[in-house]
Structure 1
Amino acid sequence: MSGRTHARACPERTCVGCRERAVKSELLRIVAIEGDCAPDPRGTLPGRGAYVHPASVCLDLAVRRRAFPRALRVQGPLDTAEIRRFVEQRNL
């Protein structure tokens, strides 16, 4: 026995809001597009991505900690209104 399991490993990412690790499919990918944060639910948009739980609590934490500009490596503040709308519609 080699000690390896035959189950396929699921990729994990860290939520920039609560800093907890979770399976990539449970998190929402965020990308920076021209000074705005845009949701990328399919994970296909080009560029660097940051991950956050699709919950208002984690989104608020990430905004308060200024985590999006740091994680996406961009200068200055980013507008998160589009992400907030996406999360609120998803949670209805």
Structure 2
Amino acid sequence: MSGRTRDRVCPERTCVGCRERSDKRDLLRVVWVEGRCVPDLRGTLPGRGAYLHPTPVCLEQAVRRRAFNRAFRGPGPFDTAELFQRVRQIEQETP
């Protein structure tokens, strides 16, 4: 290449709550750990992941639609208390 840097394309994922596609970096990865939906802030936890906009609206839609049951291929119900707490914390931190 002649001195130019290539633009990197950010992969897209679909939010399990609102079903809209967004850049992966704009979504929160959620993994299933021993019956709990755990936020994967660094994106390094092992296992199957589901992606979610870090907003209470999308999280509530995902729970209501049982999207985590489909994403994690399990019967549920999944404990989402830790996830709700983290989403509220993220919402307070954003300007």
Same fold, judged at TM 0.5 (above):
yes
Q: Secondary structure at the match of 1:45?
A: coil
Q: In the TM superposition, what are the counterparts of 1:3-14 in structure 2 within 5 Å?
A: 6-14=6-14
The whole-number CA distance in structure 1 between the counterparts of 2:65 and 2:72 is 14
List 4+ stretches of structure 1 deviating above 4 A: none
- 1:73 deviates by 1.3
- Matched residue count: 87
Does residue 59 in structure 1 map to residue 56 in structure 2? no
Q: Which residue of 1 aligns with 2:3?
A: none
The residue number in structure 2 matching 1:3 is none
Unaligned stretches of 5+ residues in structure 2: 1-5
RMSD of equivalent CA atoms = 0.9
Partner of 1:18: 18
Partner SS, residue 57 of structure 2 = helix
Aligned residues: percent identity? 64
Distance in 2 between residues matched to 1:90 and 1:76, nearest whole Å: 25
Match of 1:75 in 2: 75
Q: Which runs of 5+ in 1 are unaligned?
A: 1-5
TM-score, length-scaled by structure 1: 0.90
Amino acid at match of 1:40: D
